[in-house]
């Protein structure tokens, strides 16, 4: 069985001053493509989990502080490409394939309205790790070993950690 569930919750914590919003998502897909080489039915299941929490605070009318945290995790086994010559919804690979992605984004934005302009500061931190395991046997056979197929696993592993800061002063549309 497959399913997908989404939910949103808005929470006013202090009237016109403090509020939160929480969103969540989860899906499971059992897969529908077979890997005939490894004799795997439904070799491409996919799982996804996502969530976001946002907090807005307005301690005074001129100051708004937004903070958020976003999380997403995806795991896909097998591949979604198919080879029609093998039959409907099938592919052939000598090695198992998968893709995983773990993503996190934290942000805080401070906006102060001076009247003549707004001072905005946005600070963010991104952490993302993804790992793609795929088979390059078709490329290997075409370029290196035309006589026979050989298992040719390929790994693409990436780990990103980035900090970003933006500070800007924006005048009103009717000002210079």
- How many other CB atoms are found less than 10 A from the CB of residue 43? 23
pLDDT tens sequence across 84-131: 677 778 877 888 888 899 999 999 999 999 999 999 999 999 999 999
Statement: residue 78 has pLDDT above 80:
no
Three-class SS of residue 142?
helix
What are 15-32's pLDDT values in tens digits? 999 999 999 999 999 888
Q: What is the pTM of this model?
A: 0.80
Would you say residue 36 has pLDDT above 90? no
Amino acid 3: pLDDT: 95
CB neighbour list of residue 145: distance below 8 Å, 6 or more residues apart: none
| Alpha-carbon span 104 to 73, nearest angstrom | 9
Summarised one tens digit per residue, pLDDT across range 147-171 is 877 787 788 899 999 999 999 999 9
Which H or E run includes 138?
Answer: helix 137-143
Query: Which pLDDT score is estimated for 145?
Result: 79
Kindly give the pairing relationship between strand 117-135 and strand 98-113.
Answer: antiparallel
Of the pLDDT bands very low, low, confident and very high (cuts 50, 70, 90), residue 74 is very high
Per DSSP, the chain holds a count of helices (H) and strands (E) of 1, 9
Among 9-13, 44-48, 159-163, which is the least confidently predicted range?
44-48
pLDDT band at 81 (very low <50, low <70, confident <90, very high): low
């Amino acid at each position: 069985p497959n399913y997908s569930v989404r939910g949103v919750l808005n929470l006013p914590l202090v009237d016109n001053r403090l509020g939160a919003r929480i969103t969540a998502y989860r899906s499971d897909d059992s897969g529908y493509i077979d890997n005939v080489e490894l004799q795997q039915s439904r070799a491409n299941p996919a799982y996804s989990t996502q969530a976001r929490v946002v907090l807005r605070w307005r301690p005074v009318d001129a100051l708004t502080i937004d903070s958020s945290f976003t999380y997403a995790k995806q795991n896909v086994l097998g591949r979604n490409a198919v080879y029609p010559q093998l039959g409907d919804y099938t592919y052939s690979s000598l090695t198992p394939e998968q893709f995983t992605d773990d993503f996190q984004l934290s942000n805080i934005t401070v906006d102060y309205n001076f009247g003549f302009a707004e001072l905005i500061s946005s600070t963010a931190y991104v952490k993302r790790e993804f790992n793609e395991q795929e088979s390059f046997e078709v490329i290997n056979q075409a370029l290196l070993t035309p006589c026979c197929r050989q298992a040719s696993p390929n790994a693409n592993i990436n780990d990103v950690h980035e900090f970003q800061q933006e500070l800007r002063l924006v005048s009103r549309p009717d000002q210079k």
